[in-house]
Structure 1
Amino acid sequence: MAIHLTIQGVEVTVEEGTTVLEAARKAGIRIPTLCYHPDLKPFGSCGLCVCKQEGSAKIIRACSAPAAEGMKIITHDNELFEVRKTILELVMSTHPASCLTCVRNNKCELQKLCVEYGIREQPFEERIPDLPKDKSTGTIVLDPSKCIKCGRCVQVCQSLQGVYALEFIGRGDSTLMTPAASLPLNDSPCIKCGQCATHCPVGAIYELDEGGTFLHEASKSEKVVAVQIAPAVRVALGEEFGFKAGEITTGKIYTALKRLGADYVFDTNFGADMTIMEEGSELVKRVSEGGVLPQLTSCCPGWIEYVTKYYPDLIENLSSAKSPMMMQGAITKTYWAEKMGIDPANVYSVAIMPCTAKKIEIKRDEHMKSSGYDDVDLVLTTRELARIIRQRGIDFASLPETEVDSPIGEYSGAGTIFGVTGGVMEAAIRTAYNAITGKDLSDPDIMTVRGRGEFRHGAIDVDGKATLRFGVVHGMANAKEVLDEIRNAKARGERAPYEFIEIMACRGGCIAGGGQPLGTDDEIRSKRTSGSYTDDKNCAKRCSHQNPSVQKIYSEFFEAPLSEKAHHLLHTSYKEVPVYKN
């Protein structure tokens, strides 16, 4: 039902269930907020969105107040300005004014509002908490002294991810955001997905910045620096430099990495094509030989952290194929180093990823050293790459486009859609279809696996020879339904009605990972997703098995998918991890 209301003199029509804040945005009126985020249910903790309603003495909070027929809302006047300014001054009385050294400087929502409201002095007594940083995870840093108690991180962790690694303790002024049970974050249920960091409006949660480590290592003459970039980076990095969300900047990224000191630039999309060859072959083998089904994808390290903690009984369902990043790293220090005549001990392997959990994946266990060395030495997030590009004075927008280095940079369209929810599934189906029928799909665009539904499932007819029942899940909390279904079926001695299920920890997939540019919402997810599919369409080869470089590496080095050498370098195993380490 349509609702008609007037906001700041502007008439607007919205659907029933719309909040006053959403209606105001539709009318082109911006109401300030700090706790609100479109991904989350209204929390109403900051109070900045207070508005007046004509005919009522009550002040309403626009983020949670539902729009009603005939409402006349005042969003801005002198009184409301002073109320909001006072709220900001109170927040700043307990917040460190260390903006120049903060990782969120110039990208801080609190800082931006303080500038807008002319906060130049502090009229209240300052009570800055002296709390230690928590760097225990090696990827996510908590700085509770900067927490403004907005509640976003707790909501994200508990409601969107279903992990419950963060919580509030205490009441009133004594309220603190803390890891569960006040443990170090690494000992909590944290899966290192980084969604808390991307949703934090200030610098209270952020990724461990290792850009300086990269620049230091890249300056060593004895090092051969080989850098790979993930599929999702190419449709997001440009946002840091004035490009629209979803614009493909792959060639500029290759150029920027060379100017930052990379000797060779490869593309993780090649590793994604390799993953499909191994994971797809594993799926066909499980189906034909009566193996454990459904097979669950293993590309997302946040998901792997989750399943090994919360569903260890389903570890046998996980594909043993490594992630594209780890396959690329192992291949770089074996096949490529051998072909180039380079001592792998001198190869410094770096991965540019959209994901904070990738930083701990490279250290997970001995399988991450299958080359005899660390297969990947360092992971930088998209945000970290943007920072060092600026630090080195590189004008990203003006960069010429260059090509990736061969032979492990060439990729198919299937490799590039790994970054979106449903992309791994679509890429796998394209190749599994060929493996079963001996021919390629007439149309590689498999629309039934695409979309934004939190749990999508269906069946693909493989030319009458087989039926592949699939599931696609994104957002960790959404996985519980299907995981419980698999678990309960096992308890009954049955099998859940799927052959293959893709699970990604972050909503939208890697394009909205914990290391991507800040400000991600559904509109930006949609644009980055569209960019990924455009990149897929632009590729001459759309299927992983069609990639000439993939065909060559199997003929020269691995012999065939699932070979002994492939198992050693491209596969791994998993073990149960306690939810709480102490």
Structure 2
Amino acid sequence: MDYITINSIKVPIEGEKNVLSLIRKAGIDIPTFCYHSELSIYGACRMCVVEDDRGKIFAACSETPRAGMVIYTNTKKVQQYRKLIIELLLSSHCRDCTTCQKNGMCALQSLAYKVGVHAVRFLNNKKEEKIDMSSPSIVRDPNKCILCGDCVRTCDEIQGLGVIDFAFRGSKMKVQPAFDKPLAETDCVGCGQCAVVCPTAAISIRTNVTDIWDAIEDPSIRVVAQIAPAVRVAVGDNFGIPKGENCFGKLVSALRIMGFDMVFDTSFGADLTVMEESKEFVARLASDEKLPLFTSCCPGWVKYCEEKYPEFADNLSTCRSPQGMFSAVIKDYFAEKDKEDGKRTMVVSIMPCTAKKGEILRPDNFTDGRQDTDYVITTTEVVRMIKQMGLQFTELENESADAPFSVASGAGKIFGTTGGVTEAVLRRLAEDKSYNTIREISYTGVRGFEGTKEATIELDGREVKIAVVHGLANSGRLLDRIRSGEASYDFVEVMACRRGCIMGGGQPSGAGPRTRRSRMEGMYNADASSNVRFSEENPAVRQLYDHFLAGKEHRLLHRNL
């Protein structure tokens, strides 16, 4: 076996594509800005420079390992290089750190401290750029951009959109949409994956936290929260809780202490989605029309389909997302009580997704002209609220969601991961409701991290072909195959973000392979520990259909098309 030597440590070469991977394999952490294992190697930031035994300096991310190499990661020369790079970046960077959304979580801020930059010798002659706040989901601040290119490659390679790119040359170079258009006038779907990889706050989540605090203080407003399935396995990341641990009960407790009047689980809304979407799927199979049925839970995917593949827009399910359904039900359910109490109900959704901020503004998600979800805040925003409140999150007791929507099935909880919607619908359509059925469905091929998964099941004597895809670049390739006739399906689940909502644009960033796996396992553990595993067996869902929803299903649970 071939080896290289890193700081006197012999490290075997086992298929690694670059020296950086071997350095990390040796347990040594060196700084990077532009390197992500899932993206193409850019090698622009030069923060990962190392020195070999001949005194040559090179970027570890773009250097192919060769047997016998001798590498030093922290020589005096390397330290000087890194310090100079940070100084140059800071010289053209907006340094309002104390008021920045990324304060305390900024990679540039962290590395400046790590390499020992205490002063910047160079003047900032950069012209101040206008901040782009046209998108309801994300904010683009060019003044904080360090030209690492992470957002450019993510949007192009992972999402297949290419909304932003480099423009101009030399000192005038910047990252922007084509012709410097506002994001709202581009093909941006609001997925927020650019914000996830941005090491600074050049791209950040558009926040509504102040509005929510104001509403909580208003006695005339009944503030109701609903918590998406994927939030529970990520909210603990910033509080030292093991990755993927289910923190739903602690979050319910935190929200009540903050002043929310009622707290619900969006998994209940997912149960409603399963009921309606499975009904719609059976009807389409019977008529053999508008197939394949595409899921409509993900707003980033819905917008992508409408703008990039409009010929498939009619194939989208007419169902609202779980958030949309649940908010409509909540507003209608409390309408009479609001009149009696002289209040109005405000619904705040806590989501893993930045695109949900745009979804709530779509007229086809309104009920009789009423906006059902008033605000969306992401997991990272609710973490900030918990810290603002001064709560010791790890010490909070576990509490349950409020009645009458306090029960959610395990099928609704797995909506947070890729394949979860499909699995929940298949459970609903299965005749046998035993544990064996749950196990058999999980083995059909809908679980896992593969970009595109396929399964075939038998339903009422008919062979039904299913596809599950995540990441918009993967989705585009699948749609091209369907359009050309190369592939044919009856049901297709699509999520805009890779691995599904557990890795949404509003989740805590810096999540590597272990975190992804832990979050997915956390979703399945939440399902396995549920007393109810099938959506149609949820007693709260049954009661809602029997006593409240009758005759209102289309008005409250489906998009106004």
TM-score normalized by the length of structure 2: 0.96
The AA in structure 2 aligned to 1:514 is G
Q: Distance in 2 between matches of 1:417 and 1:371?
A: 31
Which residue number corresponds to residue 521 of structure 1?
Answer: 512
Deviation at 1:3, TM superposition (A): 4.0
Corresponding pairs, count: 558
8 Å CA contact 1:164, 1:180 repeated in 2: no
Which residue number corresponds to residue 443 of structure 1?
Answer: 437
8 Å CA contact 1:197, 1:207 repeated in 2: yes
8 Å CA contact 1:3, 1:67 repeated in 2: no
Q: Distance in 2 between matches of 1:385 and 1:542?
A: 28
Aligned residue among 543, 565, 568 for 2:552: 565
Deviation at 1:142, TM superposition (A): 0.3
- Provide Cα deviations, 1:458-506, integer angstroms capped at 9, x if missing partner: 21234x73332110111110011211122223xxxxx942111110000
8 Å CA contact 1:268, 1:409 repeated in 2: no
Does residue 511 (structure 1) correspond to residue 502 (structure 2)? The answer is yes
Does residue 187 (structure 1) correspond to residue 176 (structure 2)? The answer is no
- The list of structure 1 runs, each at least 4 consecutive aligned residues, that deviate by more than 6 angstroms after superposition, is none
- Provide Cα deviations, 1:138-170, integer angstroms capped at 9, x if missing partner: 221000001000000000111110111111101
Which residue number corresponds to residue 537 of structure 1?
Answer: 528
Q: Distance in 2 between matches of 1:521 and 1:327?
A: 32
**SS of 2:148 mapped into structure 1:** coil
Which residue number corresponds to residue 33 of structure 1?
Answer: 32
Q: Distance in 1 between matches of 2:197 and 2:540?
A: 39
Does residue 477 (structure 1) correspond to residue 476 (structure 2)? The answer is no
**SS of 2:94 mapped into structure 1:** coil
Deviation at 1:60, TM superposition (A): 2.0
Q: Distance in 1 between matches of 2:342 and 2:287?
A: 38
Q: Distance in 2 between matches of 1:308 and 1:12?
A: 50
Q: Distance in 1 between matches of 2:347 and 2:279?
A: 27
5+ residue gaps in structure 1? 490-494, 575-582
Mapping of 1:254-265 within 5 angstroms?
Answer: 254-265=252-263
8 Å CA contact 2:220, 2:343 repeated in 1: no
Aligned residue among 375, 380, 393 for 1:378: 375
8 Å CA contact 1:337, 1:343 repeated in 2: no
Q: Distance in 2 between matches of 1:149 and 1:244?
A: 33
Which residue number corresponds to residue 228 of structure 1?
Answer: 226
The AA in structure 1 aligned to 2:462 is A
Aligned residue among 208, 211, 223 for 1:210: 208
**SS of 2:325 mapped into structure 1:** helix
Aligned residue among 391, 408, 411 for 1:411: 408
Out of 478-487 and 300-309, give the one that drifted further.
Answer: 478-487
Q: Distance in 2 between matches of 1:444 and 1:468?
A: 18
- Provide Cα deviations, 1:329-348, integer angstroms capped at 9, x if missing partner: 00001135457876797001
Which residue number corresponds to residue 359 of structure 2?
Answer: 361
8 Å CA contact 2:216, 2:259 repeated in 1: yes
8 Å CA contact 2:366, 2:560 repeated in 1: no
The AA in structure 2 aligned to 1:515 is G
Residues 336, 496 of structure 1: alpha-carbon distance in 2 compared, 3 angstrom cutoff: farther
Deviation at 1:195, TM superposition (A): 0.4
Aligned residue among 427, 432, 436 for 1:430: 427
TM-score normalized by the length of structure 1: 0.93
Q: Distance in 2 between matches of 1:70 and 1:459?
A: 50
Does residue 19 (structure 1) correspond to residue 18 (structure 2)? The answer is yes
Which residue number corresponds to residue 302 of structure 2?
Answer: 304
The AA in structure 1 aligned to 2:91 is S
Deviation at 1:39, TM superposition (A): 2.8
Aligned residue among 529, 552, 555 for 2:543: 552
Deviation at 1:196, TM superposition (A): 0.4
Which residue number corresponds to residue 97 of structure 1?
Answer: 95
The AA in structure 2 aligned to 1:136 is S
- Provide Cα deviations, 1:181-204, integer angstroms capped at 9, x if missing partner: 311110011010000001000011
**SS of 2:454 mapped into structure 1:** strand
Q: Distance in 1 between matches of 2:2 and 2:133?
A: 48
The AA in structure 2 aligned to 1:33 is T
The AA in structure 2 aligned to 1:443 is T
Q: Distance in 2 between matches of 1:42 and 1:343?
A: 60
Does residue 347 (structure 1) correspond to residue 345 (structure 2)? The answer is yes
Which residue number corresponds to residue 10 of structure 1?
Answer: 9
- Provide Cα deviations, 1:184-238, integer angstroms capped at 9, x if missing partner: 1100110100000010000111011111110101111011111100000000000
Which residue number corresponds to residue 326 of structure 2?
Answer: 328
8 Å CA contact 1:53, 1:71 repeated in 2: yes
Aligned residue among 389, 394, 398 for 2:391: 394
Q: Distance in 2 between matches of 1:88 and 1:40?
A: 23
- Provide Cα deviations, 1:106-163, integer angstroms capped at 9, x if missing partner: 1000111100111111112223430110000122100000100000000011111011
**SS of 1:105 mapped into structure 2:** coil
5+ residue gaps in structure 2? none
Taking only aligned residues, the RMSD between alpha carbons, in angstroms, comes to 1.8
